[in-house]
Structure formats: C-alpha cells, structure tokens
Amino acid sequence: MGDWGPVFVAVVLFILLTPGLLVQIPGRSRVVEFSSFNTSGPSILVHSLIFFTLISILLLAAGVHVYIGPVTGKNRREIMADWAPVLVGVVLFVLLSPGLLFQLPGYNRSVEFGGMKTNGKAIFIHTLIFFALYTIFILAVRIHIYTG
C-alpha cells in the first residue's frame, strides 16, 4: 500500500512550521514573533531550513515509516535512504507557504498573490493542497531519489 510515514511527518511539519501560525523567525519587528499571521521571504527561508532539517532527521536518520498492511520485501527496499520525500516536501513547503506566491483564501479576495500575510483558513487550505500534492508525488507517482 505504500509508506504513509513521510506523508504524516511532512504534513505535521508543514502545519507546525508555517510562518506566522505558531512562530515566525525572523519576525517583522523582533527576532521571534508568535502567532503573528505574517510572513516574509527571510522567514520562509528560515522555516524551510528548519523543515529540511527536521524532515531529514525524522525520515532518513530516525526512519519513520507507517505501512498499512503487512511489511513485504518490497517495503523493506523502500526503507533505504530515499531523498525524494525530503526534497519534494521542502519544495512544496516553499511553494505553498501561504502569502509567498499566493494565499487561498485571501483577506479581501478569494485568491491573493504575494501578500505576505496569512490566516487560519488559508493555512488549512494550503495544508490540504500540500497533503494532496505530496501524497500524489510520494505514494501515487512514487518518486524516488536514492543516493550511494
């Protein structure tokens, strides 16, 4: 059925690290701001680096895997160091960070572009989009990038 571990880890990290929801590093007026619902290019960069670090640790070093059904020989091969879940997650994290490229829904329109602000609804919608695209790339299309 596939390894749902990367999907679970990536979606949870997407929610927790969305700039402005819980924390924004760097903030607009301070180094750290809490629940500001603002974002910026530098904060998306910092949060993306944190996302990359945590997803690498959890998926590659700790080896978080969740299988639905029995673990077969094929599943064991998938446990090798596969960088695709990490790289796909980081790219989607950057592209779908609410307020960077777009925000769905926006404050005054159904879609706003480059507003560098967010809200609870937008974070929820962007999380659903992240989940759908990540699941398609990792479980349906089965993108793999093995090293060494």
Query: Quick one: what percent of the chain has pLDDT higher than 90?
Result: 65
The pLDDT of 119-136, averaged and rounded, is 96
Q: What is the mean pLDDT of residues 99-107?
A: 92
The band of 61, judged by pLDDT with boundaries at 50, 70 and 90, is confident
C-alpha neighbours within 13 Å on the C-beta side of residue 139: 18
Average of pLDDT values for 12-36?
A: 94
CB 117 within 8 A of CB 99: yes
SS3 content of the chain, % helix, strand, coil (to 5): 50, 10, 40
Of 123, 148, 132, whose CA–CA distance to 60 is shortest?
A: 148
pLDDT of res. 79: 53
90 pLDDT tier (thresholds 50, 70, 90): very high
**pLDDT above 90: residue 64:** no
Average confidence (pLDDT) over 66-86: 67
Write out the two tokens for 124: 């929820």
Domains of the chain, by residue range, sit at 5-140
- Cβ 69 vs Cβ 1: under 8 Å: yes
**What pLDDT score does 70 carry?**
64
> Residue 3 has what pLDDT?
78
Q: What is the pTM of this model?
A: 0.86
Confidence at residue 67, expressed as pLDDT on a 0 to 100 scale: 63
